[in-house]
Homo-oligomer: A and B are copies of this chain.
Amino acid sequence: MTAAADKHTSAFPRIGVFDSGFGGLTVLRSLLAHIPSAEYFYLGDTARLPYGSKSQATVARYAVESAQLLESYGAEYLVIACNTASALALDAIRSAARVPVLGVIETGADSAADCSVTRDVLVLATDATVQSHAYRDACTIRGLRGLEKACPLLVPLIEEGWTAREVEKNSAVTRQVLRIYLDEALAQAKARGYTLDTMLLGCTHYPLLRTMLEEALPERMTILDSAETTARRVRQQLAAGGRLSSVTEEDQSRCHFFATDSVEKFRTLGSRFLGQPIEQVNLIDLGG
């Protein structure tokens, strides 16, 4: 490492971003836009994904191991860019970590509280996130009513790239699945007497469906994604702590990527989520 690199490293905040896989790269993408002068350490625990179908005990164990690894790399701030881990393991991570930890669910619920006029919010998420009722509870303590809808087929459809408009027969399937989930959710809302005006994307994969969702919604509804709201929150907290670099030119950031499985797949699939090419990914072993 050169002296210049050393100086660069020490001056910038070091932010650890953790997800079970690639989805959290949509959060990193927003972080890069909001905090360009930082050093990022992204860990995707790809050998053990998906967390969405696993129990609380298992998710907590995996997430704590990953958080500790990021701390050992010098991260002074941890972003849990994984809804399942935020839902099932945030307390466990906070107990184990010595640095501030931010989860996507709290920031998502905060932004819904800022946005909703009717106070009725629809949350789309994975099975495990819904079963934890972490969003419903986070909504309740903010005076909102949260209607949670599990959409387990969306992640595989997004990972297969069946969202690209160019391949009509494939994207038609995704639109159809979305239609089924939304109709079920809207019917539930009606039965409960909810007036939804805000939709919260409770899975970091879902921002890739944003356009399809906007087209599919039967009435005007504001769509909030946790990637965006989390990035804004991290920026605020760094600024409050005097850790926001005064250097604000673009391309000052540096990203280090770590994965627990198939570096090649991470590069290929991850670039789609990050919105830019991923050059180097380091394979690490968490012993799982």
Binding site for B on A (CB under 8 A): 46-49, 53-55, 58, 152-153, 156-157, 160, 162, 169-170, 172-173, 176-177, 180, 261-262, 265, 287-288
Besides A58-B261, A172-B176, 6 more A-B contacts (Cβ < 8 Å) are A47-B48, A48-B48, A153-B157, A153-B160, A153-B162, A173-B177
Specify the chain B residue showing the minimal Cβ separation from A183: B169
Q: Knowing A54-B261, A262-B54 touch, does A160 contact B170 (C-beta < 8 A)?
A: no
Specify the chain B residue showing the minimal Cβ separation from A263: B55
Q: List 25 A-B contacts (CB under 8 A).
A: A46-B53, A46-B54, A47-B54, A47-B58, A48-B288, A49-B53, A53-B265, A54-B261, A54-B262, A55-B261, A55-B262, A152-B156, A152-B160, A153-B153, A153-B156, A153-B157, A153-B162, A169-B180, A170-B180, A172-B176, A173-B173, A173-B176, A173-B177, A176-B176, A288-B288
**A153 cross-chain contacts in B, Cβ below 8 A:** 153, 156-157, 160, 162
Nearest chain B CB to A16 CB, angstrom units:
22
Q: Whole-angstrom distance between the alpha carbons of A54 and B261 in the complex?
A: 6
Q: Whole-angstrom distance between the alpha carbons of A173 and B55 in the complex?
A: 28
**A262 cross-chain contacts in B, Cβ below 8 A:** 53-55
Q: Whole-angstrom distance between the alpha carbons of A58 and B47 in the complex?
A: 7
Specify the chain B residue showing the minimal Cβ separation from A172: B176
Q: Whole-angstrom distance between the alpha carbons of A287 and B47 in the complex?
A: 14
Q: Whole-angstrom distance between the alpha carbons of A158 and B276 in the complex?
A: 34
**Most chain B CB inside 10 Å of its own CB: which residue of A47, A162, A176:** A47
**A54 cross-chain contacts in B, Cβ below 8 A:** 46-47, 261-262
Q: Whole-angstrom distance between the alpha carbons of A24 and B163 in the complex?
A: 31
Nearest chain B CB to A281 CB, angstrom units:
13
